[in-house]
């Protein structure tokens, strides 16, 4: 597979200033990240708050310039494009945000919201707009009559469907979803996950999912990159990575997900501040396996994991969650659309 989007050694620091404007340090939001996504592939970027995953997303779409490094989309270097050329490129790269209440304009009808990208990129003549919006709305599980309504008339799940229709309008090749289902109730979340999964595979889209929720990630993503304080600490195929995580941080993340009975909290303390992050391996302040080398030397991402001790760590003690029993599986199958195999 050839990569559609490639990023090399991205660095983004935000200066921190005191009350009178003196520079007092920098937030190391993204610190040397390389990754790639192919057409038809879903890559998840996972991490806790402040790990830099949203900043990385913005860098990948060229919404903010990196301090160092490059982003290539379809072989073209985004950082070299003129502002006008970059805007034209946006047609190919769209974004879905966490909160559809905030990302939709309350004074725009659904018709106008979904038609806006069509106009902006002159995709269909004005006369064809209504039909195009109707087909987009149908595609995301809404009905063409919804076009005349206003965002406030919709539930959270329906609003997110409108946001997805709007993202699809320009016929993008890549979509980035920044926590696209995190604000939704679990039953609605399941519907939107299934919708996204279907659209991605039918349309052959490249999809970048930014999420803190490993369950959602497993449901949608082919590959996962785990971030901690601005760096990727582990990367690999999602199924293998979640079943047998190698980096101590990924292991902690996996073990912390509730669902398998009372377990001791896997790590202590909070994520340190990204202003003046820890030296060496940034996880060393919380890592149960820490050794001297971890405090001073930055571990490179090699063979999918950035840990000095990767070869020597004990095997991951598999986390066993409650399994649904046969009766529950049978009963739950009634909640799937008829004739839908698993």
Residue with smaller CB distance to another protein, 46 or 232: 46
For residue 16, what are its two tokens? 């921190």
> Contact region for another protein (CB under 8 A) — 6-14, 229-237, 255-263, 307-315?
255-263
Q: State the alpha helices, DSSP H only, in the chain.
A: 53-60, 83-89, 100-103, 110-120, 129-139, 156-168, 186-203, 214-220, 238-243, 248-256, 292-296, 326-332
Answer for which of 7, 27, 147, 253 binds another protein (CB under 8 A) is: 253
Pairing mode, if any, of strands 206-211 and 23-38?
A: unpaired
Instruction: Confirm or reject binding of residue 145 to another protein (CB under 8 A).
Output: no
> Contact region for another protein (CB under 8 A) — 87-95, 236-244, 289-297, 309-317?
236-244
Closest approach of another protein to the CB of residue 329, in Å: 9
Instruction: Confirm or reject binding of residue 212 to another protein (CB under 8 A).
Output: yes
Residue with smaller CB distance to another protein, 61 or 96: 96
Answer for which of 135, 155, 201, 279 binds another protein (CB under 8 A) is: 155
Instruction: Using DSSP, state whether 24 is helix, strand or coil.
Output: strand
Residue with smaller CB distance to another protein, 116 or 194: 194
Beta-bridge partner residues of 78: none
Distance CA 135, CA 297 (A): 55
Instruction: Confirm or reject binding of residue 19 to another protein (CB under 8 A).
Output: no
Q: Which residues contact 25 (CB under 8 A, 6 or more apart)?
A: 15, 16, 275, 276
Closest approach of another protein to the CB of residue 266, in Å: 7
Pairing mode, if any, of strands 174-178 and 93-96?
A: parallel
Instruction: Confirm or reject binding of residue 222 to another protein (CB under 8 A).
Output: no
Residue with smaller CB distance to another protein, 111 or 211: 211
Residue with smaller CB distance to another protein, 43 or 267: 267
Residue with smaller CB distance to another protein, 312 or 327: 327
Answer for which of 20, 84, 264, 317 binds another protein (CB under 8 A) is: 264
Answer for which of 40, 266, 277, 280 binds another protein (CB under 8 A) is: 266
Residue with smaller CB distance to another protein, 264 or 302: 264
| Site track for another protein across 49-78, x = CB under 8 A | x-----------------------------
Answer for which of 88, 102, 131, 328 binds another protein (CB under 8 A) is: 328
For residue 90, what are its two tokens? 């946006």
> Contact region for another protein (CB under 8 A) — 63-71, 100-108, 180-188, 292-300?
180-188
Closest approach of another protein to the CB of residue 305, in Å: 18
Distances (CA, A) of 233 to 95, 188, 299: 25, 32, 9
Nearest residue to 235 (alpha-carbon basis) of 49, 54, 43: 43
Instruction: Confirm or reject binding of residue 337 to another protein (CB under 8 A).
Output: yes
Q: Which residues contact 12 (CB under 8 A, 6 or more apart)?
A: 29, 30, 52, 55, 56, 59, 64, 66, 67
Distance CA 307, CA 284 (A): 10
DSSP string for residues in 187-227: HHHHHHHHHHHHHHHHHT-EEEEEES-HHHHHHH-SEEEEE
Q: Which residues bind another protein (CB under 8 A)?
A: 48-49, 155-156, 185-191, 193-194, 212-216, 218-219, 239, 242-243, 252-268, 270-271, 319-325, 327-328, 330-332, 334-337, 340, 342
């Amino acid at each position: 597979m050839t990569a559609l989007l490639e990023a090399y050694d991205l660095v983004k620091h935000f200066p921190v200033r005191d009350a009178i404007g003196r520079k007092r340090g920098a937030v190391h939001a993204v610190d040397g990240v390389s990754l790639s996504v192919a057409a038809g592939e879903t890559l998840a970027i996972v991490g806790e708050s402040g790990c830099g995953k949203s900043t990385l997303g913005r860098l990948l779409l060229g919404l903010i310039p990196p301090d160092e490094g490059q982003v290539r989309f379809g072989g073209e270097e985004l950082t070299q494009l003129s502002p006008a050329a970059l805007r034209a490129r946006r047609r190919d790269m769209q974004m879905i945000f966490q909160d559809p209440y905030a990302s939709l304009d309350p004074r725009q009808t659904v018709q106008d919201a979904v038609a806006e990208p069509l106009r902006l990129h002159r995709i269909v003549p004005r006369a064809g707009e209504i039909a195009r919006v109707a087909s987009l709305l149908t595609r995301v599980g809404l009905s063409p009559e919804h076009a005349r309504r206003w965002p406030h008339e919709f539930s959270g799940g329906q609003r997110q469907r409108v946001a997805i229709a709007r993202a699809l309008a320009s016929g993008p090749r890549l979509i980035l979803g920044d926590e696209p289902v995190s604000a939704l109730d679990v039953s609605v979340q399941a519907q939107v996950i299934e919708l996204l999964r279907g659209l991605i595979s039918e349309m052959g889209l490249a999809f970048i999912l930014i999420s803190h929720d490993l369950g959602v990630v497993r449901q949608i993503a082919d590959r996962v990159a785990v971030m901690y304080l601005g760096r990727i600490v582990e990367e690999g195929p999602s199924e293998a990575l979640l079943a047998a995580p190698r980096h101590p941080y990924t292991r902690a993340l996996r073990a912390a997900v509730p669902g398998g009975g009372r377990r001791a909290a896997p790590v202590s303390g909070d994520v340190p501040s990204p202003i003046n992050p820890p030296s060496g391996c940034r996880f060393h302040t919380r890592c149960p396996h820490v050794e001297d080398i971890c405090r001073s030397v930055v571990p490179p991402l090699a063979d999918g994991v950035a840990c000095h001790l990767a070869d020597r760590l004990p095997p991951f003690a598999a986390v066993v969650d409650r399994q649904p029993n046969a009766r529950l599986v049978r009963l739950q199958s009634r909640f799937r659309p008829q004739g839908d195999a698993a």
